[in-house]
Amino acid sequence: MSEHTPQSETPKIYKGLAGVPVDVTAISKVNSDTNSLLYRGYPVQELAASVTFEEVAYLLWYGELPNDEELAAFEDLERSHRGLDHEIKRIVDELPLTAHPMDVVRTAVSVIGASDPKTPDDSHEANLEKSIRLFAKLPSIVTYDQRRRHELEFVEPNNDLGYSANFLWQAFGETPELEVVNAFDTSMILYAEHSFNASTFTARVIASTLSDLYSAVTGAIGALKGPLHGGANEAVMHAFDEIGPGEGGAQRAVEWLDAALAEKRKIMGFGHRVYKHGDSRVPTMRDALERMVEHYDRPDLLELYTALEDAMDERKGIKPNLDYPAGPTYHLMGWDTETFTPLFVASRVTGWTAHVMEQLASNALIRPLSVYEGPDERHVPPKGNAAGE
Ligand SMILES: CC(=O)SCCNC(=O)CCNC(=O)[C@H](O)C(C)(C)COP(=O)(O)OP(=O)(O)OC[C@H]1O[C@@H](n2cnc3c(N)ncnc32)[C@H](O)[C@@H]1OP(=O)(O)O
Ligand SMILES: O=C([O-])CC(=O)C(=O)O
Residues 180, 168 contacting (CB under 8 angstroms): yes
In order of their start, the domains of the chain are 38-225+337-362 (1.10.580.10), 233-332 (1.10.230.10)
Give yes or no for residue 341 CB within 6 A of ligand 1. no
Give the model confidence (pLDDT) of 241-251 as tens digits: 999 988 899 99
* ∠ CA 349-101-90, rounded to 5°: 95
Q: Strands 42-43, 36-39: parallel, antiparallel or unpaired by DSSP?
A: antiparallel
Q: How far from 172 is each of 81, 165, 264, 289, 333, CA to CA, in Å? A: 20, 11, 39, 19, 10
Q: Give the CA diameter of the chain.
A: 82
Q: Which ligand is nearest to the CA of 273?
A: 1
Q: Tell me the CA distances in angstroms from 143 to 28, 283, 336, one per residue in order.
A: 29, 28, 10
Degrees to nearest 5, angle at CA 121 with 117 and 122: 145
- Among 193, 234, 270, 347, residue to substitute to test ligand 1 (most atoms within 8 Å of Cβ): 270
The reply to whether ligand 1 has any atom less than 6 angstroms from the CB of 321 is yes
What is the side-by-side strand order in the sheet with 36-39? 28-31, 36-39, 42-43
* Pocket lining: 318 vs ligand 1, CB cutoff 6 Å: yes
How far, in Å, is the centroid of ligand 1 from the Cα of 266? Answer: 7
DSSP calls for 203-266: HHHHHHTT--HHHHHHHHHHHHHSTTTTTHHHHHHHHHHHH-SSTTHHHHHHHHHHHHHHTT--
Question: Does 323 qualify as catalytic in the annotation?
Answer: yes
pLDDT at site 23 = 98
Do residues 320 and 307 make contact, with C-beta atoms less than 8 angstroms apart?
A: no
Q: Is residue 228 within 6 Å of ligand 1 at its C-beta?
A: yes
C-beta of residue 142 within 8 angstroms of C-beta of residue 336: no
Q: Tens digit of pLDDT for each residue in 252-269?
A: 999 999 999 999 999 999
At residue 355, the pLDDT reads: 99
Give residue 137's pLDDT: 98
- Set 229, 272, 331, 355: catalytic member: 272
Closest CA to 61 of 373, 352, 369: 352
Q: Is the CB of 187 under 6 A from ligand 2?
A: no
Nearest CA to ligand 2 atom 2: 197
Report how far ligand 2's centroid is from the alpha carbon of 97 (Å). Answer: 29
Query: Which stretches does DSSP call E strand in the chain?
Result: 28-31, 36-39, 42-43
Q: Say if residues 269 and 324 touch (Cβ distance below 8 Å).
A: yes
pLDDT at residue 3 in the model: 61
- Beta carbons within 8 Å of 245's beta carbon, 6+ residues apart: 298, 300, 301, 304
pLDDT less than 70: residues of the chain: 1-9, 385-389
Residue of minimum CA distance from atom 3 in ligand 2: 197
Say how many Å lie between the CA of residue 52 and the centre of ligand 1: 31
Mutational test site, ligand 2, from 30, 191, 194, 270, max ligand atoms within 8 Å of CB? 194
The pLDDT of residue 34 is: 87
Q: Which ligand is nearest to the Cα of residue 226, counting in written order? A: 1
* CB distance 100 to ligand 1 below 6 Å: no
Within 13 Å of residue 4, how many CA atoms lie on the same side as its CB?
12
Nearest to 137 by CA among 240, 214, 45: 214
Give tens-digit pLDDT for 26-61: 999 999 888 899 999 999 999 999 999 999 999 999
- The pLDDT value given to residue 245: 85
What pLDDT, on the 0 to 100 scale, is given for residue 83? Answer: 96
Is there a catalytic annotation at residue 93? no
pLDDT of residue 1: 39
CA distances from 334 to 143, 271, 300 (A): 12, 26, 16
Ligand 1 centroid distance, CA of 270 (Å): 7
- CA–CA distance, 45 with 269 (Å, rounded to integer): 20
Question: Which pLDDT does position 276 carry in this prediction?
Answer: 85
Residue 10, pLDDT score: 75
